[in-house]
Amino acid sequence: MTDTDNNSLPERKRGSGVKMVYDLLRDEILDLVLPPGSPIDEVQLAERFKLSRTPIREALVRLAGEGLIDTLPNRSTMVSNIDFLNLHTFFEALVLMYRVTTRLAAQNHRPEDLPVIRGFHEDYAAAVQSRDALAMIATNAAFHAAIAEAGRNPYFTGLFRRLLDEGRRILRLYYQSYEEQFPQRFVDEHAEIIAAIEARDVEAADRLGKAHAEQIVEQVQKLFTRNNKLDIDL
Amino acid sequence: MTDTDNNSLPERKRGSGVKMVYDLLRDEILDLVLPPGSPIDEVQLAERFKLSRTPIREALVRLAGEGLIDTLPNRSTMVSNIDFLNLHTFFEALVLMYRVTTRLAAQNHRPEDLPVIRGFHEDYAAAVQSRDALAMIATNAAFHAAIAEAGRNPYFTGLFRRLLDEGRRILRLYYQSYEEQFPQRFVDEHAEIIAAIEARDVEAADRLGKAHAEQIVEQVQKLFTRNNKLDIDL
DNA sequence: TGTATTTTTCTTGTCGACAAATAAAATACA
DNA sequence: TGTATTTTATTTGTCGACAAGAAAAATACA
C-alpha cells in the first residue's frame, strides 16, 4: 500500500469531515491509542484527513468541551490527563449515576427498550466468554448507557456517558498490561438488573445498580493497588 | 452614541475574541435577551465584534456543545428551546444535585469556602430585600454553585452548573412578566443550609438541600400552572 | 564554561475568499 | 389561479495564506 491510498475517500459530504475527525479522535483517546499527554498536531491531522485546519479545529474545540483534550493558549494541545489523585470523585459520581439511571429505567422504560438492553447484555456475555477484555469494557459501557437511555433523563444520561467514557480510559489503562477479566458475577448481576427493570421494581433496581457499581469500583481499585507503581509516574 | 463607538475596543489580545463572544452570547441567552428560537447570524456577529467569522464560529461550537444553541447543518443556527414537555426531568436532576452537592459540601468543605458561601448568601438576602427578581435568580444560583464547589466533585459541579444555567432561563421567563418574589423562607433555608455545612452534619445538609430544592421546584411549578397559557405557544 | 540576549523556527489564531447547500423568488405551465 | 420548475440569493462549510506568540536554537558576552 503506497502513500496514494486516498482513493477510498476521494470526496466527502459537506459537513461530514468534522464528525469523522471528532469520532475517530474520540475513539483513539478513549482506547488509549492516544494516551494522556499525547500532543495533538493540527497540521498533521489536516494532512492525515486531507482537510484544511478549519474543520480539524472545530473537532478539537468539541473534544476540549468534553474535557478529552487540553488546550494551552497559543501553545500545544494534548490529550487530557487522567486525574488519579481525585479518582474517588469519579467513583463517587459513577456509583450515584449507576443507581439513578437503573432506578429510572425501572420507572420509565418502554417495551422497545428491553431488546436493546438485552442485546448489549448478550454482547457482554460473549465478550466475557471469549475473554476479550477490550470488548468487555466497550459492551459493559454500552449496556449501561442503554439502561440510562431507557431512564429518559437527558441530564443524567449526559453525565453518565461522560463518566463511562472516562471509565473506558481508566479500564483500558489497566487491562492492556494485565490480562485480567471481569468475573462471571458481573454477567449475572446484569441479568438481575434487567429482571428488576422489566418488573418495574424501582427499589430493587436501585439496590442492584448500587451494588453492581460498587463491585466494579472495588474491582478497579483492586487493580490499582496491585499495580500502584504506575501511580508514581504522576 | 453613534455607530462608531468601537473606540473602546480597538485592539484585543490574540485569543480573547472567542471568549468575549462566548461569554456575551451565553449571558444574553441565559438572560433571555436572546429568547429561545432567536436566529444566530454569524456575519452579523462578526460585524458586531469586528472579527472574522472564524472566532465567532468557535464560540458557537462551544455554545452548541453545552446545548445552549442548536445548529441545523447547512442551515440556520438558533437559541435552543426550553423543553417544557420534559421539565420534570429537569426538576428531577435539579433536586438530586441540590441534595448531593449540599451533602458533599458538609463533608468536604474547607474553612475558606464558608466566607464565599456567606457572601452570596448575603447578596441573595439583599436581593430579596430590594425585591429585585433578576438579582435573586442570579445570586441564588451563585450561592448554590459555591456550595457545590465546596463539595469538590467536578462531575457533579459540572452538571449542577448546567442545571442552574437552564434554571436561570426558566425563572427569567416567568419573572419578567410577573413580578413575583422568592419568599423570605428561602433566605432562612439558606441560613440553615450554611449551618449544617459548617457543622459538617451530612445528613442534615442532605435533608435541607432536598427540602430546599423541592420548595423551589414547587414555587416554579406554581408559576407554571398559573400562567400556563404561555405553554400553548409551544 | 555559563548566563543573557537575539534570532530563528514552529504552531496557533485570525482573516478574506470561494464553493456547496439550502431557502426564497421568479418564471413557466396547466 | 394554482402548481411545478427554474433561477437567484443567502448562508454555511472549507480553504489557503498570513501574522502573532512562544519555544528552541544560535549568538554574544562575562
| ipTM of predicted complex | 0.87
Residues with CB under 7 A from strand D: A 14-18, 50-55, 58, 74-75; B 13-14, 40-43, 53-54, 57, 71, 73-77
**What percent of chain A lies above the pLDDT cut of 90?**
70
Q: pLDDT band at B133, cuts 50/70/90?
A: confident
Query: What is the number of other CB atoms lying within 10 angstroms of the CB of residue B115?
Result: 9
Is the domain defined by A84-233 classed in CATH 1.20.120.530?
yes
In CATH, the number for domain A10-79 is 1.10.10.10
- State residue A177's pLDDT score: 59
Containing B39, the helix (H) or strand (E) segment is strand B39-40
| B6-79 and B84-233 in the same fold | no
Q: Which residue in B has a C-alpha nearest to residue A156's C-alpha?
A: B93
Distance in angstroms: CA A15, C1' C25: 27
Helices (H), B130-201: 133-151, 154-175, 184-198
Q: pLDDT band at A223, cuts 50/70/90?
A: confident
Cell of A203: 427499589
Q: What letter represents residue B106's amino acid?
A: A
Cell of A172: 483500558
- State residue B11's pLDDT score: 60
Residues of chain A in contact with residue B74, where contact means CB-CB under 8 angstroms, are 14-15
> CB A155 to CB B100 under 8 A?
no
Rg of chain B on CA atoms, in Å: 20
CA B179/CA B133 separation, integer angstroms: 7
**Which nucleotides in chain D lie less than 7 Å from some protein C-beta?**
11-17, 20-23
Place of cell 493497588: A225
CA A78/CA B55 separation, integer angstroms: 21
Average pLDDT over residues B129-143: 87
Average pLDDT over residues B211-232: 76
Model confidence at A68: pLDDT above 80: yes
Question: Which of residues 173 through 232 in chain B touch A, CB cutoff 8 A?
Answer: none
> What is chain B's mean pLDDT, rounded?
88
Question: Which of residues 33 through 62 in chain A touch B, CB cutoff 8 A?
Answer: 54, 57-58, 61-62
Antiparallel, parallel or unpaired: β B77-79 and B69-71: antiparallel
Residues of chain A in contact with residue B87, where contact means CB-CB under 8 angstroms, are none
Where do the domains of chain A lie?
A: 10-79, 84-233
| CATH architecture entry for B6-79 | Orthogonal Bundle (1.10)
pLDDT digits (tens, 9 = 90+) for B75-91: 999 999 999 899 999 99
Q: Is the CB of residue A86 less than 8 Å away from at least one CB of chain B?
A: yes
Contact B105, B60 (CB under 8 A): no
Closest alpha carbon to C1' of C11, residue = A75
